[in-house]
């Protein structure tokens, strides 16, 4: 019995180890390339370990591209998108969760699911011209509108799942019996207990806006406006070649930092938020 248990644990860790290597290898590669001496970056076959460590790229990258400006731009857009998406999705998700018996809510739920089935590229041209004719091309307003339009449906479905599974209707009914209005019930009772769900939704919206490339590259022009997901393409030259691989990888480290930090601090909420919505109890 004990042997079986040990074997089970060993198998568990083996699988975990393999998956971890698979997931972490790109990050390892990114970090190792950033600290490799120049002559070792483009060798074939590649080396897993550098012969010596070089940290000059961590300073050079700020001179090579305006990385600070790009990151600031990304942060502005991502925070705005996150705030708007969370507010809209929370209100919408709560409404659908609590009033699904109404035809309009049911219909809106189906519509939201449908939007997730349409590839972004299909709506790109029409959405581009809507944004352009509204005078929002090459503005963050246009980009935020596009991102929010994308993020809200999925965020709504996420948060609706959380409201369905994690907040029993009985709590709300008790509040109503005690004289609480529908709106006060939402703000004073439901919202405080929904924090994990809201955080997981916010992380999703933030990462979507932080990583997005296609829209940002079409809508925005010029270094002053570029977010970091577009700015990193500055290293890709005329023939699709990247001769500054080490600098690109160094920039990659800085770019992934915000998402890694946010996830690190909030992963507890993210996991509980996602799993609460996963099973309807």
Number of residues that bind another protein (CB under 8 A): 37
Q: Are 108 and 269 in contact (CB under 8 A)?
A: no
Among 14, 134, 171, 260, binds another protein (CB under 8 A): 134
Pick from 234, 252, 254, 274: which binds another protein (CB under 8 A)?
234
Burial class (CB in 10 A: 0-12, 13-18, 19+), 6: exposed
48: contact with another protein by CB under 8 A: no
**Residue 76 in contact with another protein, rule: CB under 8 A:** no
- Residue 163 interacts with another protein (CB under 8 A)? no
Considering only residues 155, 157, 230, 253, which one is a binding residue for another protein as defined by CB under 8 A?
A: 230
As a whole number of angstroms, the distance between CA 278 and CA 191 comes to 19
Query: Contact region for another protein (CB under 8 A) — 91-99, 154-162, 184-192, 219-227?
Result: 219-227
CA angle, corner 169, sides to 101 and 178, nearest 5? 120
Binding test (CB under 8 A) with another protein, winner from 69, 108, 138, 275: 138
Q: Is 8 in the site for another protein (CB under 8 A)?
A: no
135/168 with CB nearer another protein:
135
Q: Which is nearer to another protein, 175 or 228 (CB)?
A: 228
Task: Report if residue 148 touches another protein, rule: CB under 8 A.
Answer: no
Site for another protein, rule CB under 8 A: 38-39, 41-44, 63-65, 125, 128-129, 132-135, 137-138, 214, 217-218, 221-223, 230, 233-241, 243-245
């Amino acid at each position: 019995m004990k042997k079986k248990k040990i074997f089970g644990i060993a198998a568990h860790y083996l699988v975990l180890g393999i998956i971890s290597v698979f997931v972490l290898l790109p990050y390892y590669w990114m970090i190792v390339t950033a600290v490799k001496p120049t002559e070792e970056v483009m060798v074939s076959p590649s080396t897993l370990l550098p012969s010596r460590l070089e940290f000059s790229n961590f300073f050079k990258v700020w001179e090579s591209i305006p990385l600070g400006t790009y990151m600031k731009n990304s942060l502005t857009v991502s925070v705005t998108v996150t705030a708007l998406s969370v507010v809209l999705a929370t209100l919408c998700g709560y409404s659908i969760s609590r009033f699904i018996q109404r035809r309009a809510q049911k219909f809106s739920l189906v519509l939201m699911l449908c939007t997730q089935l349409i590839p972004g590229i299909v709506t790109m041209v029409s959405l581009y011209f809507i944004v352009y004719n509204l005078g929002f091309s090459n503005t963050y307003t246009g980009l935020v509108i596009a991102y929010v339009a994308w993020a809200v449906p999925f965020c709504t479905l996420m948060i609706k799942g959380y409201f369905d599974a994690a907040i029993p209707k009985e709590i709300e009914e008790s509040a109503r019996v005690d004289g609480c209005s529908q709106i006060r019930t939402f703000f004073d009772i439901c919202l405080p207990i929904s924090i994990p769900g809201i955080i997981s939704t916010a992380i999703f919206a933030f990462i979507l806006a932080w990583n997005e490339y296609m829209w940002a590259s079409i809508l925005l022009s010029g270094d002053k406006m570029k977010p970091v997901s577009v700015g990193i393409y500055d290293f890709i030259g005329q023939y699709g070649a990247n001769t500054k691989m080490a600098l690109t990888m160094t920039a990659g480290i800085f770019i992934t930092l915000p998402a890694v930090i946010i996830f690190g601090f909030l992963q507890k909420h993210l996991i509980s938020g996602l799993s609460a919505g996963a099973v309807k109890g």
